Each structure stands twice: as C-alpha cells, then as structure tokens.
A and B are shown apart, each in its own frame.
Chain A
Amino acid sequence: MSRADFEDLDVEIDDHSGKRKKGDGNVARKGRGHERSEDPFHYTKSGAFESVPHDKEDQDVQRCMQLLFFLFVCLFKTKIHMKAVEGYVLFVRGIHEEAKDDDVYEVFGEYGHIKQLHLNLDRLTGFVKGYALIEYATFKEAKSTKDNLDGAKILGREITVDWAFKKPPH
C-alpha cells in the first residue's frame, strides 16, 4: 500500500511538510490528533511488512499449477481464502455472549480437529465478545466446517462462519 491509498481516505498528508491537511469531504471531524503537526508515529505506513507467501508448496509444482489456478480463480472466484502459517482459520460471528469454550468446541470439533480456538472476551462485561477464531490444520476440514455451520445455531443464536484471511486483492 502506498500513500496514494491512504490519501484516498480523506486523510491527506502534505508532501513537503508531512503535515496533515483537512480533507474536504463531508466527514465529521473530531479530536486533537487532527491538528497536531508532529506526526512521527505512523510506523505502519513505512517499510516492509512480513507476510505469509500465498502458497508455500513445492515451487515447481506451483509454477505448473499457476496458470490452472489463475483460470480457476477467474472462472469461479471462489478461492479467495488465505492459508495461515500452519493452517486455515475461520472467523465465526454472532456467538452467544454466555457461550463457553466447550460449547464452541463441541460444535466445531465435529467437522475436523481444532488446532486452536480463540474465544475472546469483552473486557468490560467479561462475557464472550461475540466472535471466535478457529484454526484447522487442513483446508478440507475448514471448508467442510464453513459449509456445514454457516447459519447454524449455538445456544439458540444464529452464527455466521467465514474465512478470517484472504489473499491480497489485485
């Protein structure tokens, strides 16, 4: 991502001084951060960021498959998920606030072996925040879980299941 992408967001940065200019969009602005001219803390805007390569599989095979894969993506536009370092991660939303680890594990363990489950809590209330991240070792397990459990219910509340990561848009 370059600065051009960032400027697109109504947060314009003057090229010479590095100071922020006010955007002219009809956005309600608030906060002292807009006026501050010193702006040295934007580390996420510079330098190289480490990311996981799209496919870590055998390079030769990958090259042969690249064209086929490209065609597949063009035709079906389905394979937009992204493999994490050690598996495939699903993002579940709409989890009942009183759900426990075991409730989620029971439902999601049915379609594959769960490598990791993050069921994060709301820091204010101490209840479940409403989302969970679930990692499976294989694509097959994750896909089957996603297909079977999207729209299912946990403690009477409907959940949605989606991938957590996607490939960079081109």
Chain B
Amino acid sequence: MAEQAKDEKSPQQGKFYLRYYVGHHGKFGHEFLEFEFLEDGLLRYANNSRYKGHDLLKKSVYVTDAVLDELKRMIDDSEVLNEDDKLWPEPDEVGRQEIEILHNGHHISFVTTKIGSIIDIEGQEDAGGLKCFYYLVQDLKCLVFSLISLHFKVNFHSFTKSNCCGTHKKQFDIA
C-alpha cells in the first residue's frame, strides 16, 4: 500500500533534501556548523570551531528511512514550508543562517542572521515565522547532534557552547 502511494506521487514530490548552515567570521576565524541530509539517507556534518583549539570536523554517515521519516515529520509539524524569509533580518556581522529544504513539492531556501535566543525575535516584523524557524532549527540540531555523537563518539559539549540542546542524556555505565 505504502509503495503504491509513493508511485502515484510525481517524482518531484518524492524528492527530499535538507541543509542547514550557521556561521560567522570572528576572532577565531570562520566558525560554522553545517549539516545536510540527502534523499538516500546520507547525513553530512561539518563543524569548524577554533574555540579551545578544535579543528574542522567533518563526518558522514548513512541514516535509515526511519530517521528520514522522523525528519520529514518534524518539518511537516513545524509548517516551515509555509513561511517566507522576505521580512526576516538580513545576515550581518553577527552571523548568518541558511536553511534549504526540498520536501513535498516545496523548495525553500531561507537566509537570515543568527538568532541567539527567542528574545531576539520579539518585536520583529515576522516574529511568527522566525519563531517557527528557530524552533525547527533547535529540534534539527538536537537530532543531528544525537546521531553524530552516538555514531562517532563526539562530545559536543566541549566545543559548542551555545549549541547544547534540551535533551535528556543518560550515561549508563557498566557497573
């Protein structure tokens, strides 16, 4: 049944791609974080931070359809595809964020500045849209950090100060 439904969709509607970038140029050089998901499950992750002497980190791994489906659910639930970045603040010296999503026959490519916290959004012209974007990004980062740290044993807390995600993490050590 599921396969049949898939076939009925036009090829464009079945296509999927997601990319997120956040970065700035500062006293540690160009620091950024970028990840992307491809249709076949390839997750690529790049993080460049000179903070505490870390170098560019690039990781790639294939995730299963279950992970992609959850990702699509998150995108659908956030309704980010209905938003537009026309009224969002332009990227500036503080930083730059980009999100590109190809899903369900929509292709968005939004660009804006960094959003430090939800307080930055208040008073903006398109506060609703930015809020939706902000929380989607938080949830996406959370998922990606979990995937990468579980697969590669990377400890994110040591070098991404502001990137901590609201997650319950428990280490169950062998007693």
Contact = CB atoms under 8 A, between A and B. Distances in A.
22 contacts: A9-B102, A27-B12, A29-B108, A30-B109, A31-B84, A31-B108, A34-B109, A41-B21, A91-B67, A105-B172, A116-B170, A116-B171, A118-B167, A121-B166, A121-B167, A123-B138, A129-B139, A163-B66, A164-B66, A165-B61, A166-B64, A168-B62
A126 B106 CA distance: 29
Interface string A3-31: 00100011100000000000101111111
Given A11-B17, A30-B106, A41-B32, A120 B39 contact: no
B126 interface: no
Contact of A9 (B17, B32, B34, B98): B17
B61 A52 contact: yes
Contacts of B40: 169
A137 to B, nearest CB: 8
A1 interface: yes
Interface of B: 10, 12, 15, 17, 19, 21, 23, 32, 34-36, 38-42, 44-46, 48, 58-67, 69-70, 73-74, 84-86, 96, 98, 100, 102, 105-111, 135, 138-139, 142-143, 146-147, 150-153, 165-172, 174
A91 B60 CA distance: 18
A154 interface: no
Contacts of B167: 118-121
Interface of A: 1, 5, 9-11, 23, 25-34, 36, 41-44, 47-52, 81-82, 84-86, 89, 91, 93, 101, 105, 113-124, 126, 129-131, 133, 135, 160, 162-169
B111 A10 contact: no
B108 A30 contact: yes
Contact of A47 (B58, B146, B168): B58
Contact of B165 (A48, A123, A133): A123
B42 A1 contact: yes
Nearest to B69: A93
A123 B166 contact: yes
Contacts of A116: 150, 169-172
A28 B107 contact: yes
B46 A43 contact: yes
Contact of B66 (A28, A135, A160): A160
Contact of A50 (B70, B109, B152): B152
A164 B17 contact: no
Nearest to A1: B42
B98 A33 contact: yes
Contacts of B15: 9-10, 27
